[in-house]
Amino acid sequence: MDIKNLKVGLSYNDVLLVPRRSRVESRKAVHTESMLAQGINLKIPLISANMDTVTEANMAIAIAREGGLGIIHRFMGVASEVAEVRKVKRAEAYIIDRPYSIGKDATISEAREIMQSHGVSGLLVTDRTNKLLGILSDRDIRFIGNEEEPVSKAMTPRTRLITASPGIAMDRALKIMDSNRLEKLPIVDKGNVVKGLITSKDLYRRMHSDKYAKDKKGRLLVGASIGIKGDYIERAEALADAEADILVLDVAHGHTDGVIKAIREVKKSLPGMKLMAGNVATAEGFEDLAAAGADCVKVGIGPGAACTTRRVTGAGMPQLTAILDCSEAARKLKISLIADGGIKNSGDITKSLAAGASAIMIGSLFAGTDESPGYFIRRDGAKFKAYRGMASFGANISRKKMDKIEIDPQEVFDIVPEGVESSVPYIGSMKEVVYQLIGGVRSGMSYCGASDLEELRRNAKFIMLTESAAKESYEKLKQY
Ligand code: XMP
């Protein structure tokens, strides 16, 4: 052992970013786009962690709408994980499933009232069995004198309507609507029964949802987690079938032969599928997973809020040093580095990006939001949400319960947890949380004179803090 050259390990609180001359006029002029892998582009570099108190479909939808990515956890059966992925993929449905409708004998005045009360510009005209008879738009009745006339007199009849079949793709619908100058495209089955409606307004909104992290078909991006044992290949194939955009193959100590083999196996079965693998804490680890076929590599051993790995095992790497070490390999190999765990505020995110991360994975900071699957806890009148490490005692038990009804007492005895079961304060919606985090990051980037992440990495200069400098930086008056 070379004790003369012991390295110093740094965590986020040990450094600050040195303010630099800036051309950036406001934080709005700062770009936070980041590429995870070919074809997977994020508008903001945030990823919600694949933990059972952090990411299921609701969280993944919320973060993708803010421009980031959610990774569905794997501590459920294959069919359930697939269902969560499908929910995300369906979330931005541009087809209204149950459009407002009216009977042909209703009066114009009734139609006007329905349109006004629901804030819509048209109604489908249907019979009792929901068969399509026509469309009535507000334009059809704008100048009608007799309000008691039946809808059938003013509607565009079925014979003059262009319709589409269920399951029509967005680009095809767009083509039909554009070439026929349509405001509304009803979806009917072979028996002419209404199955939905596409409006040009919804389609337009979808196409211009610039903030969203989207796939090629305009649907929200979503990632899904797999392990390295048991049914992991079957799980990977089922998730690929559900059109997950990226798979995340991670275990606590990712720099192992087992993980390297699993990466190769997944890539062999699903050559086109993007794969994030981890976790590692050294350049060597980063390079080995990349060489095995990972499209991006996750860095972080023990920095997480619910992790006890360092205490229990004595192993780990201070997170900033881990990122700085791996970032050289990332740059050389042109493989994205994902910094995972230990983020306590937006300043930590900026530091992580400056050190070379392309995106940051977050658990505890997101666990207290409305969208996390964790249950609510009330303590002394305040609201909290459950948050637990995936190697905690409770998570270990839950995992064993997935496979069998009764657990052998010896199996319980054998558990050596490397995480805790805890809770975090309830903090409201993801939208608000992400707005504050990204607002801080944008501001931090402008302090570094950076208008995008690449410039941040180039310009960033860290300064190490003494104990009193750290006190001056972080010990502040309490917020009322
Ligand atoms: P934060 O700090 O954002 O960290 O809550 C989330 C990350 O923590 C990791 N994780 C664990 N690490 N034992 C560990 O040592 C655990 O039980 C555990 N559970 C989660 C994981 O990398 C996650 O993204």
Ligand 1 centre to CA of 252 (Å) is 9
Query: If you take atom 24 of ligand 1, which residue's CA is the nearest one?
Result: 49
**Phi, psi (5° rounding) for residue 34?**
-150, 145
C-beta neighbour count of 440 within 10 angstroms: 17
Q: How high is the pLDDT of residue 314?
A: 97
Condensed to tens digits (0 to 9), the pLDDT of residues 7-36 reads 999 999 999 999 999 888 888 889 999 999
Cβ 46 vs Cβ 434: under 8 Å: yes
Q: From the first residue on, what is the mean pLDDT of each consecutive set of 10 residues in the chain (480 residues)?
A: 87 97 87 95 98 97 96 96 92 79 94 87 94 94 87 94 91 91 94 93 77 88 96 97 97 97 98 97 98 98 96 97 98 97 98 98 98 91 95 90 82 91 96 97 96 96 97 92
Ordered domains of the chain (ranges, CATH): 8-92+219-474 (3.20.20.70), 101-207 (3.10.580.10)
Pocket test for ligand 1, best of 51, 301, 337, 369 (most atoms within 8 A of CB): 51
Q: Is the pTM of this model over 0.85?
A: no
The residues carrying an active-site annotation are 307
| Separation between Cα atoms, residue 308 and residue 392, nearest integer Å | 9
Closest to 15 in 3D by CA, of 327, 318, 445, 357: 318
Rounded to whole angstroms, the Cα distance separating 35 from 312 reads 35
Interatomic CA distance for residues 376 and 237, integer angstroms: 34
Task: Decide: helix, strand or coil at residue 65.
Answer: helix
259 CA distance to ligand 1 centroid (A)?
18
Ligand 1 pocket list (CB less than 6 A): 49, 51, 252, 279, 300, 302, 304-307, 309, 340-343, 361-365, 389-392, 418-419
For residue 174, the CA-to-ligand 1 centroid distance in Å is 43
